[in-house]
Chain A
Amino acid sequence: MRLSPDQLVFWQHGFFKLNGTIVLTWGLMLVLAVGSKLITRKLSTDLKRSRWQNLLEIVVTGIEKQISDVGLKHPEKYIGFLGTLFLFVALAALCTVIPGYEPPTGSLSTTAALALCVFVAVPLFGIEEQGFWGYLASYTKPTIIMLPFNIISELSRTLALAVRLFGNMMSGAMIIAILLTITPFIFPIVMTLLGLLTGMVQAYIFSILAAVYIAAATRSRKPKPALAIKT
């Protein structure tokens, strides 16, 4: 029984392997890049626009609103990174409707790579916002004793991001594979729908958690003069 698309090897030359995960990731990248390029070729600003442009506008404004709700003041700075995370994980889950497809996020390599991207991006955005020493000083807040705990929490939440996404995607694919050998008619379709739902929720969770970590790293800790009531 195959645990992940890693074990499906198309081509191998010594150390370099072209396995299912890599090929499927390339396919998803192709769909996202070529699709966006084709849709945004002739953008129009009046009321008459193509439905694909409408769809992309709904998606982009939705992500922007979510990012600003989390607390990031200028969502256009972060939407490139966070939007791509969401779109990639969501498309990887959505394509499960295609027969013979396994989500590349069901392999620990892909999810570890995405979690490492977040791990690198959080200090980058924090340094851009607060300066190098300002960002490093934030590790010693509230007291210097918290320094090792802050570092450990950075590492553990990166690991949690990777394992959470991997566990959800792999379990969905595995349950469908097991059910196909037992009851091949209606039940696997129900489980595929459940897998779609959890895939979209996990894509949302991954990008929202990345946004929350970036917001925590970039918020300035100057004392506020009055209590700000958030509406």
Chain B
Amino acid sequence: MDSMTIIAVVSIITAGLTIALGSIGPALGEGRAVSTALTSLAQQPDASATITRTLFVGLAMIESIAIYCFVVSMILIFANPFWNHVIVGAAKVAGK
């Protein structure tokens, strides 16, 4: 396998693994956060505005981790600098 093929194969596999593994942690964390929020809502329903707002802010923080993994995998697929580099090199070789 030449370097172009290796770069392509590794990028594709890494992109899939990044988003797959990167969503496990945030999903578990968000589940725990919502379940604790529901428990405290059941115990103190009159604080529901504060609890709901804090829950949403906390969920956004947890979600950011999954978003970072998603952005990395998008970069690997669509804006991959190594792939662009070897494509430019291959075009130069073909043009000669």
Distance, CA A209 to CA B54, complexed state (A): 11
Q: Kindly list 5 other residue pairs between chains A and B, CB separation below 8 angstroms, not including A69-B49, A209-B57.
A: A3-B79, A166-B71, A171-B70, A202-B60, A205-B56
- In chain A, positions 123-167 with a C-beta closer than 8 Å to chain B are 160, 163-164, 166-167
A-B contact count (CB 8 A): 43
Distance, CA A66 to CA B49, complexed state (A): 10
Distance, CA A171 to CA B67, complexed state (A): 9
- How many A residues touch the partner, as a band? 20 to 34
Distance, CA A1 to CA B74, complexed state (A): 12
B71→A163 contact, CB < 8 A? yes
Residues of A that sit less than 8 Å from B by CB: 1, 3, 66, 69, 160, 163-164, 166-168, 170-171, 174, 201-202, 204-205, 208-209, 212
Q: Mark B44-68, 1 if CB is under 8 A from A, else 0.
A: 0000011001001100110110011
Distance, CA A139 to CA B68, complexed state (A): 27
A1-B56 contact, Cβ under 8 Å, with A163-B64, A167-B71: no
The distance from the CB of A64 to the nearest CB of chain B, in whole angstroms, is 14
Interface majority SS (helix, strand, loop, mixed), chain B: helix
Residues of B that sit less than 8 Å from A by CB: 49-50, 53, 56-57, 60-61, 63-64, 67-68, 70-71, 74, 78-79
Residue on B with the closest CB to A3?
B78
The distance from the CB of A207 to the nearest CB of chain B, in whole angstroms, is 11
Can you list 11 pairs linking A and B with CB atoms under 8 Å apart? A3-B74, A3-B78, A66-B53, A69-B53, A160-B61, A164-B64, A167-B67, A171-B67, A171-B70, A204-B56, A208-B56
